[in-house]
Structure formats: C-alpha cells, structure tokens
Amino acid sequence: MSYNVSVLASPIYELLLSFSLYKRQTLMKYLDLGSKWPGEVEESLSPDLKEAIALKENLMFEDLLVLFIEQTPYKNEIDSFFEWLGNMSAGELFERIASSLDDKMTLPTNLLDQRDQSIKLLKSWNEEYFQFHSEEVLERLTADAERKRKMLVEKTGEKVILQASRFIIESETVKNVCLIPSIHLHPMAFIDHLKGTLYITYPIKDTKDELNEVLRFTKALGDEKRLKILQYLSHGSHTFTDIVSEIGMAKGNIHHHLSILRGAGLVNIHIRDERNTFYYSANKEIAKAFSKKIDQFLN
C-alpha cells in the first residue's frame, strides 16, 4: 500500500453533506432518505432560508470545506468551527487550501464573500434542520470512526476501505485516503479527489436494519439487466462506457442499474490514475454476503 489512511468524523461534515443533498437533490431515490426527503425538509424551513438556498449559484466553496474541517481544532463543535472559519483573512483561507488543489482548479476572487455567504447559510441550515439530529449524529459518527481506526490496526488499509465503501485504490498518484463516515448518504459511498488525497464518504451501517439490507440486496439481484451487468463485471473491471457498449442500453438506464447495485454493495469501483474515469467490477463475495445477511435477518 503506497498511501496513508485516516478517518475523519465530524458533525460539521454531516451538516455540510445534508445541506448539499438538499441543494443538489441528486441521486435521492438511491438513498435511504428517499426522493420525498427534500420536500419534507422544505416544509420546516423558513421562506428566507429557502429563497437564499435557491439563489445560491454553486457550492464551490462548500465543496472545499472538508479541507477546513480536516484542519480545525473544533471538529465536533459546529458554532466554534464557524467562528474559527469566519475569523480568517483571505490570505489565510488561501494558504490553508491552496496546496491541496490541482493546478487546473481556480479559486474565486471573492473568497471572503463566498466564505461569509456559506457560513450564513450553513448556520441557518443548522438552526432550522440539522440541530434536531446533531446529538444522534455525533454519537454514531464517533462510534463508527473508532471502529474503523481499530480495524486499521488489525487489517490493511485496502481491506478497510473496501469493506467501508467498495472502493479499490489503484492510482499511483494517491498519497492519502481520508475515510469519512456518513448517515445521510446511506447506503451509497462517494469520493472527492483533491490533488494527492482521496476523501471517501462512506455509509454507516445500521446493525438494527437487517430487513432493509436484505430488501436492498434482493431488489438489486431481482432484475435480469442487473444480473447481466454483474455477470459482465465478474470477468474483470470495466468503465461505464464499456458497460453501455456491452449491455446495449441507454446511459441513463445503465447509471440507474449501477446505482442500485452499488447501494447493495454488489459492485466495486476501482480508482486509477485517469481522473474522472471509474472502473467497475463485481463483488466476488456476493454469495457469502447474501448468506450472511439472511442468517442475520432470520436469527
């Protein structure tokens, strides 16, 4: 293994993630939250906050906040984090993130304005939505992060990453991998690649949720097209374009089937040096995993 693996657990990141999910509203139907979640949350938001979120043009600064969360001494203190971030000059903001950005990435010239707008929005989001879930969130994030840190002592980083997210790191340029536990994203895992570091947001498994685990698994396997995709991926790792060509379906349909397979943990994603190109392979432990899920459910 040519990279270091660390674990970052923070309610601030979960706050940011929930805000991003509400703003972007992508892939909701593949998450346990479901497609109705944004509408349900919207009912509890003030008109001013809904308008401010709608008017926000992009989440560029928010997408970089993980770099500040990683550096802050207030990882578990939301209000203290915002105060810490808000006291930085433009020069300090730049210095703290510049070394983590690729040469092709450009920072906005109005960095302070972006920071101030982001803090205002996220504070309001915390007051009107997230604070009502924060106590449970902190407890679950902290507990899972400790489990992962113990696993890293007992197992290789590759195995811990694979078990948590189904990602396989094969890139020679990756020097650090940061695992970030999440509740809102369940059951999906996502990746952000910033220069030599991969930030992998992975779902915390709920040991009391065996029924949904089994249903997710059986749904994924209960479709002929998805079985054909799995069969194709069992012979090696292939790109999305390869899968579209082999299966002969529209890109949107392939994306739909892959998302369901990913949510059930049936597909691995290989990260190589080609940025933004993922390779997919079948999880060869399918039969064993399914048998274990059934045993857990019945017992």
Domain with 150, as residue range(s), is: 138-203
Is residue 266's pLDDT more than 90? yes
Q: Are residues 34 and 91 part of one domain?
A: yes
Is a pLDDT exceeding 90 seen at residue 6?
A: yes
- pLDDT over 90, % of the chain: 80
Contacts of 204 (CB under 8 A, 6+ apart): 140, 141, 144, 181, 182, 183, 186
Specify if 5 maps to a domain. Answer: no
pLDDT digits (tens, 9 = 90+) for 203-237: 998 766 778 888 898 999 999 999 999 999 999 99
Query: Residue 86 pLDDT > 90, yes or no?
Result: yes
pTM: predicted TM-score of the whole model, two decimal places:
0.94
SS3 of 152-187: the string is HHHCCHHHHHHHHHCEEECCCCCCEEEEEEECCCCC
| Mean residue pLDDT across the chain | 93
Residue 289 binned pLDDT confidence (cut-offs 50, 70, 90): confident
Q: 2 in a domain, yes or no?
A: no
Within a domain: 3? no
Please tell me which residue, 8 or 285, carries the higher pLDDT value.
8
Is pLDDT above 80 for 53? yes
Residue 63 has pLDDT above 70, yes or no: yes
Q: Is the same domain home to 192 and 230?
A: no
Kindly tell me if the per-residue pLDDT of 287 is higher than 90.
no
Q: Could you tell me if 218 and 173 lie in one domain? A: no
